[in-house]
Structure 1
Amino acid sequence: MDFPDLQKMFPNFVGIWCLFLGIISFVHSKTDSSDVSALNVMYTSLNSPDKLTNWKSSGGDPCGQDWTGITCSDASVVEIRVSGLGLTGSLGYQLSSLSSVTYFDVSQNNIKGDIPYQLPPNVIHLDLSSNGFTGGIPYSISQMTDVTYLNFAHNQLSGQVTDMFSQLRKLDSLDFSYNMLTGNLPQTFGSLSSLSTLYLENNQFTGPVDVLAKLKLDDLNLANNHFNGWIPTELTKVKKIEVEGNSWSSGPAPPGMTSSDKISSDGPSNGGVGSFSGAVIAVIILGILLGLAIVVALLARKRSSFTSNLLDEHESFGRHKQFNSFKAPGFSNDSHGDMCIDFKDGKSLESSTSIDTGALQSSRPIGLTPAYSSRINSFRNTTLANMNLQRSSSFRATCYGLTDLQAATGSFATGRLLGEGTIGRVYRAKFADGKVLAVKKIDSSFFQGGQAEKFSVMVSNIFKLHHPNIVPLVGYCSEQGHNMLVYEYFRNGSLHEFLHLSDEFSRPLTWNTRVRIALGTARAVEYLHEICSPPLTHKNIKSSNILLDVDLNPRLSECGLVAFYQQAGQNLGAGYNPPECTKPSDHTFKSDVYSFGVVMLELLTGRMPFDSSKPRSEQHLVQWATPQLHNIDALEKMVDPALRGLYPPKSISRFADIVALCVQIELEFRPPMSEVVQSLVRLVQRSSMNKRGDDIGGSRRMDEYDY
């Protein structure tokens, strides 16, 4: 054969050889590429442990190479069983690609961090127990319609369990025990028609358990929580039940309910209280009663001094900075119907002249921060019972006179105007003693028909909000048809002003400070959503409502005013409004999450949520930014030019990942605020924060804060 003929045949030969090699490779590989990629990410996130034999950080063939704990069907991974292997690290971010996995067990390891928001979507058996997971229960569980077994026990999970169970009608066993979960039981627990085993013990759940009444349970453990009320009679039929260690109501139970002691003594034997005989229980009860009688006798002799000491202790609390805002508004009963007496110097009103102790006793407390809530609640519960006799309590409410506020604001002069919104205007008020406060004058149209009581209830509720990232209410005025709220004043203004209205002489916010602002604001919203009782939506989260103190720490304003926004029919401004909110009543917790995500985008890009001066494709910030949040090259071009490149690229990428979750179109896929907080905390912990340059206003570097 001539050489030219070989030259003509060579390209065909090479093509055939390449095709042959491809066929051999295809036949050899038994695993779907998406499963391989997801397991590669999982392996790397678990710190590439030796005990996961044959696993790889890139490529490989899980189904053809006998990867430890992997079971396949055809070319798909269907089971992952890696329990008790001493694994560390986290689970990674690509578990949602494991669409054929039905059995997922990583229990009894030392895996930490948040539970990934996206888990294998078609899982039937999910066991994450006995690890070090933090954060909350991911909402993506709500989409696992075939799941029968969920186990999150023995972790460090916290926050409220949101309503996510309406579609889990095949779920047979659910275990949340030994965590730090809080709040009332979600109402969608009532949809778990197949549930037979429910373990909730050793958490911090509160409220009644009525939602469990219609479930066909065989095994129920509610022990060591903060449940209250009575137990539905239907639960007495549960074969195995534990209820001790809660705050059940005492006395005769109403119809359809039963007391906890009856379940304990008459219920099925389960190795707990119910396994003792009636005689033994009687002896124990008599012993307890005798001991209590002795204690009461001893304490009765010291009751007067005990009460006095408590009052003295609370006086000292009131002088401490953290407790200065723990106040309750007092309202007089003057014939004019005004909510406070006319006093000229803005002095605090003593409870002996204005506190309505009945209102204090009946109102539900809106949660204090955990660090000092138990101490304050202990004081409150002890002393309020004797408030009618002890009228010298240090609870105070600052009630400002109309003439004083007019003088301090120059008769509400335009030059003192700080801002204007749908429900009223905010003015800067400077008093004779040099103190400066902010006065929000609510439009009188909201009080047509003499709804003074509406204002008093609102003031009372706002006074109960206590969080270091929420603007504290320090006083009020209701006089001659004027209703005003008086807040602390923050000289640095709002985040909106820093990002969008700074002049050329202003120094921009560093990346450290932007992350700190996002985290502080997220914590404030988490407090409203998951710690307050009852929980509150904000409905007006935007950069102009995030004020900055002298250290550039965020203070969320406009909290507790949602009723006025509803009455005004107000939707959020352009760019902040979630797609599901066509009217104000549509607003939910997840709508707040969306608006917060927009604020994060402002921090990231330096752009306004809506800017008509931009090209049409860039006017709506969310629509322009969302498709680029996972593109590293595009992301770098999106970052606020004012940062001058002084930021860690990995931190920017992780920040963008959180934004993408918050601004999803489908509200059910947005995470709860507790998960957002944990993600931001993790970002701070993992990132090597840029320390070049100082912030204005004497702000400290991020590494000086305890996250």
Structure 2
Amino acid sequence: MQKPILLLLLAAVVLFPCAGFATPASGVSTDAKALLAFKAKADPGNRLAFPPVARNSSSTGHCSWPGVECSSSGRVVRFVLEGAGLTGSIAAGTLDRLDQLRILSLKGNSLAGPIPDLSPLINLKALFLGGNRLGGPFPASILSFHRLRTLDLSSNHLAGPVPPELADLDRLNALRLERNRFNGPIPTFNQSSLKNFNVSYNNFSGAIPATAALSSFDATAFAGNPGLCGEAIGKECGSHFLFFHGGGGSNGTRVAPSPASAIAGSRGGILLPGSAASSPSQRIHKRAIVVIGFLAGSLLVIGVLGAFLVMQKRRRMKQGEILSPVKHNANGSTDVAEPNLDTYNEEIESGNNELIAAAALAMSEEKVKKLAKSGCLVFCAGEAQVYTLEQLMKSSAEMLGRGTLGTTYKAVLENRLVVTVKRLDAGKLAATGKESFERHMEVVGRLRHPNLVPLRAYFQAKEERLLVYDYQPNGSLHSLIHDEFGS
């Protein structure tokens, strides 16, 4: 009775030796078809040497293709094409068919478009897609890779929030999301396995989670995210209120206290991940340069505003005077020249008034272009409108300090853009006319110098005058002097 059963089993093995590893009727394996479908979209320049597959070819012939590594059964377990010149896209329904894949690396190419659904790759342990031009949101299918140890999506165009469920991948030991456009809060990563972490140069905001895992990384891992705060970067998290509450009066302003220290690693003095920290002498040198820049900029602004007030007084005496550029004498005094813009075609004086005179000339050439400035936010030097007055008024703000002419705030807009807003004291400039103020703001807005913070926009109405500058994250002049040189 047992012999017939054994004979039947033996016959089945002889007749169907590869029943467990069947290939399609064409003789070409499913993995080979998936690789060819991927190449068709990702390699429009035909740089990959994937040979054509015949119907009667070996089912494991694809295992010798560039970047492909197979298991003993002929299934693709590793696919690595780094810096291969791929300029297309990752088509849906291609790589996700390689369901035995352990390692996928396509970094250093120029692949564009979104990252498709890869959820069938449940065995994936390492995914490298950095250094491409991939866009769209964070790929949700990655959250199903419970064996994932390394994830590199750096240097792409990915945007939107990072799902908090990413922190549930408990085997993750390397996460690189730097140089994208991710926003929102940083998930609460606390995997003990996490040894390599970088989310710098995105638009993350809020408090950095105070977990043991994240606390082990220095500020360079979080640099370039102006909206972040927390112990990891030495910036206190304070309450934020609306910059204005509905109106333009002084009574509508509520601000939160400014943190004592600024974020390390923004535009001024970037410390890249993996680089050595600056020595004390280098830090002192950099601080000295910043102090000199602040002094130069402050003197220039004070000089222009001083000339502004003098011009206003003279204007009442002589209506023909239009603009008063500032000239600094060798003895430190300030004179006011009185050219007329309509006859401003003579040779411009050399010296410290060159920048202002050139700006005034450029403004004369644009006199025919009438702007609706009354009660509007005006962008200087012909720059495009980046945000509206309403967006600026609704931004969250921190008071940076008070000066002779007004109060300075750090404002964070809804799109995470950070600017500095100086709110001028209405009483100090009450005698200054609307047109005179506009002319001087146009002149100041055209000034450009490495040590001068450029004026980007201004606003004036009946009770408000605002100046908008680029935000400089290196702290105030007072803190720079006393924190470094006073210690």
Cα gap change, 1:328 to 1:117, in 2 (>3 Å) = same
Residues 481-522 of structure 1, C-alpha deviations (whole Å, 9 max, x = no match) = xxxxxxxxxxxxxxxxxxxxxxxxxxxxxxxxxxxxxxxxxx
Tell me how far 1:101 sits from its aligned partner: 0.7
Higher helix share: 1
Of 69, 74, 79, the residue aligned with 1:71 is 69
Tell me how far 1:251 sits from its aligned partner: 5.8
RMSD (Å) for aligned C-alpha atoms:
5.2
Please give the residue correspondences for 1:544-693 in structure 2 after superposition, counting only pairs within 5 Å.
none
Tell me how far 1:86 sits from its aligned partner: 1.5
Amino acid of the residue matched to residue 42 of structure 1? F
Tell me how far 1:79 sits from its aligned partner: 0.8
Local SS of the residue matching 2:160: strand
Distance in structure 1 (CA, Å) of the matches to 2:161 and 2:54: 35
Contiguous gaps of at least 5 residues in structure 1: 1-18, 236-248, 331-357, 368-372, 395-707
Amino acid of the residue matched to residue 67 of structure 1? W
Partner of 1:541: none
Is residue 130–residue 152 contact of structure 2 (8 Å, CA) maintained in 1? Answer: yes
Partner of 2:51: 54
Is residue 124–residue 147 contact of structure 2 (8 Å, CA) maintained in 1? Answer: yes
Partner of 1:300: 302
Distance in structure 1 (CA, Å) of the matches to 2:392 and 2:132: 43
CA radius of gyration, larger in: 2
Cα gap change, 1:75 to 1:234, in 2 (>3 Å) = farther
Distance in structure 1 (CA, Å) of the matches to 2:215 and 2:385: 51
Tell me how far 1:328 sits from its aligned partner: 9.4
Partner of 2:196: 197
Residues 66-89 of structure 1, C-alpha deviations (whole Å, 9 max, x = no match) = 232221222422111122221232
Is residue 162–residue 187 contact of structure 2 (8 Å, CA) maintained in 1? Answer: no
Partner of 2:421: 382
Higher strand share: 2
Distance in structure 2 (CA, Å) of the matches to 1:110 and 1:275: 34
Tell me how far 1:125 sits from its aligned partner: 0.9
Cα gap change, 1:363 to 1:53, in 2 (>3 Å) = closer
Cα gap change, 1:112 to 1:384, in 2 (>3 Å) = same
1:35 partnered with 2:31: yes
Partner of 2:485: none
Is residue 149–residue 174 contact of structure 2 (8 Å, CA) maintained in 1? Answer: yes
Amino acid of the residue matched to residue 326 of structure 1? E
1:125 partnered with 2:91: no
Tell me how far 1:314 sits from its aligned partner: 7.2
1:226 partnered with 2:265: no
Of 29, 41, 59, the residue aligned with 1:45 is 41
Amino acid of the residue matched to residue 145 of structure 1? H
Partner of 2:177: 176
Is residue 96–residue 121 contact of structure 1 (8 Å, CA) maintained in 2? Answer: no
Cα gap change, 1:315 to 1:216, in 2 (>3 Å) = closer
Tell me how far 1:29 sits from its aligned partner: 5.2
1:89 partnered with 2:88: yes
Distance in structure 2 (CA, Å) of the matches to 1:113 and 1:184: 22
Local SS of the residue matching 2:182: strand
Cα gap change, 1:33 to 1:317, in 2 (>3 Å) = same
Distance in structure 2 (CA, Å) of the matches to 1:206 and 1:362: 15
Q: How many equivalent pairs are there?
A: 314
Local SS of the residue matching 1:198: strand
Distance in structure 1 (CA, Å) of the matches to 2:211 and 2:426: 38
Distance in structure 2 (CA, Å) of the matches to 1:329 and 1:130: 38
Distance in structure 1 (CA, Å) of the matches to 2:302 and 2:286: 24
Amino acid of the residue matched to residue 167 of structure 1? D
Of 270, 274, 278, the residue aligned with 1:275 is 278
Distance in structure 1 (CA, Å) of the matches to 2:285 and 2:133: 42
1:144 partnered with 2:140: no
Residues 235-274 of structure 1, C-alpha deviations (whole Å, 9 max, x = no match) = 9xxxxxxxxxxxxx97657xxxx9859xx99x9x9644x2
Tell me how far 1:224 sits from its aligned partner: 3.0
Tell me how far 1:173 sits from its aligned partner: 1.1
Is residue 191–residue 213 contact of structure 2 (8 Å, CA) maintained in 1? Answer: no
Distance in structure 2 (CA, Å) of the matches to 1:29 and 1:50: 28
Residues 413-446 of structure 1, C-alpha deviations (whole Å, 9 max, x = no match) = xxxxxxxxxxxxxxxxxxxxxxxxxxxxxxxxxx
1:326 partnered with 2:382: no
Local SS of the residue matching 1:51: coil
Cα gap change, 1:322 to 1:306, in 2 (>3 Å) = farther
Distance in structure 2 (CA, Å) of the matches to 1:57 and 1:302: 79
Tell me how far 1:192 sits from its aligned partner: 3.4
Is residue 173–residue 196 contact of structure 1 (8 Å, CA) maintained in 2? Answer: yes
